Amino acid sequence: MTAIDELLHGAIDLHTHSGPSPMPRRITHVEAARQASEAGFRAILVKCHYHSTVTDVLAMAPELDGLDTQVFGGVALNSVTGGLNPHAVDLALRLGGKIVWFPTISSAAHLAHAKTNAKTRSHFQPLGMMAQEEVPVLDDDGEVLPRVREIIGLVREAGAITGTGHLGADAASAVVRAAAEAGQRRILVSHPNYIVGLDHERARELAALGATFEHEIGMYDSGTLFPFEELLGWIDAVGPEHTIIGSDLGQEGNPLPVEGYRRLLPRLLDAGVPEADIRLMIGGNQAFLLDLD
């Protein structure tokens, strides 16, 4: 067993993009789980921007039975799922959902990015689907809407994760503050440097409120979007205790999720990141967020 094999034992990926999905995927949730199980992963969480993956997981339960890797789902609150829809949230949580993402492809920040980036625009409108509509989370005064607080309360009561999705810096910060005020201890900010637009200073402020920051292997692999050194800078800025590494992989044209971890972890080791910190960022912090321990 190699050092990388040992590190992956107990890993958890909270950002697996397997199928079914209207977007082209290399693998199904079952195939992703089997590959993760072979590598010793403790759990994966499968994500789709267009529908709740909680029912996907339940439908595939017979094929997942016997695997060592647990598989979880969640729901993203985009216009295709009804936006800030507490009924969709309630259903997902009662069926075992582990995360509710506030708008991803329906956030103002994402839609603004798509207007100026043809690749983003085409990538997130598969099958000729209707374009997503904005789902705002703030009122005209910059305060979170009452329905946002209602949803945060439902998520907290279920012991699930409040994810800020693709909300821009101001909206994401407001949701983190509202979640912290509600006593939510499981708060996740995905790719703070992609679309979200957070800087290190504000990220440290949100970390002090309990936020954890997720960085995606798919965005650093071979410098796809960001240089590897930027990831190291983020780890230094907020600390490994507030950092997790997810794959954001499974799409056609990209490495498979487990493959992505195998490509990134040696680079972290070569950069001098301690093994204990790596274990925390690829498994320990995720286990807390999923309430597994």
Could you please state the CATH topology (level 3) that the domain comprising 3-289 is classified under: TIM Barrel (3.20.20)
Query: Mean pLDDT across the chain, nearest whole number?
Result: 96
Measured CA to CA, the distance from residue 205 to residue 144 in angstroms comes to 18
Q: 270: Cβ–Cβ under 8 A, 6 or more apart, which residues?
A: none
What string of DSSP letters covers 198-214?
--HHHHHHHHHTTEEEE
Structure token digits, residue 148: 């946002």
End-to-end CA distance of the chain: 26
pLDDT at 115: 86
User: Which of 116-120, 127-131, 162-166 has the lowest average pLDDT?
Assistant: 116-120
Residue 57 confidence (pLDDT) above 80:
yes
∠ Cα 96 97 101 (to 5°) = 170
Paired residues of 72 in beta bridges: 45
Look at residues 176, 154, 165, 158 and name the one whose alpha carbon lies nearest to residue 78.
165
Decide the pairing of beta strands 12-16 and 43-46.
Answer: parallel
pLDDT at 293: 86
| pTM for this entry | 0.96
Residue 121 confidence (pLDDT) above 70:
no
pLDDT at 151: 99
pLDDT at 126: 76
- Mean predicted confidence (pLDDT) in 183-206: 98
pLDDT band at 285 (very low <50, low <70, confident <90, very high): very high
Q: 139: Cβ–Cβ under 8 A, 6 or more apart, which residues?
A: 145
- Mean predicted confidence (pLDDT) in 19-29: 96
Residue 211 neighbours by CB distance under 10 Å = 28
* pLDDT above 70 as % of the chain: 99
Amino acid residing at 111: L
Residue 254 confidence (pLDDT) above 70:
yes
pLDDT at 196: 98
* pLDDT above 90 as % of the chain: 91
Per DSSP, helices labelled H in the chain are 3-8, 29-38, 54-59, 61-64, 86-94, 108-116, 118-123, 146-157, 169-181, 200-208, 217-220, 228-238, 257-270, 275-279, 285-289
How many Å separate Cα 206 from the centre of its chain? 17
Residue 247 confidence (pLDDT) above 90:
yes
pLDDT band at 1 (very low <50, low <70, confident <90, very high): confident
pLDDT at 122: 64
pLDDT at 119: 72
Sequence spans of domains, the chain: 3-289
Residue 226 confidence (pLDDT) above 70:
yes
pLDDT at 222: 77
Measured CA to CA, the distance from residue 17 to residue 47 in angstroms comes to 5
pLDDT at 160: 98
User: Which of 49-58, 119-128, 152-161, 202-211 has the lowest average pLDDT?
Assistant: 119-128
- Mean predicted confidence (pLDDT) in 192-201: 97
pLDDT tens-digit map of 61-74? 999 999 999 999 99
Residue 127 confidence (pLDDT) above 80:
no
pLDDT band at 123 (very low <50, low <70, confident <90, very high): low
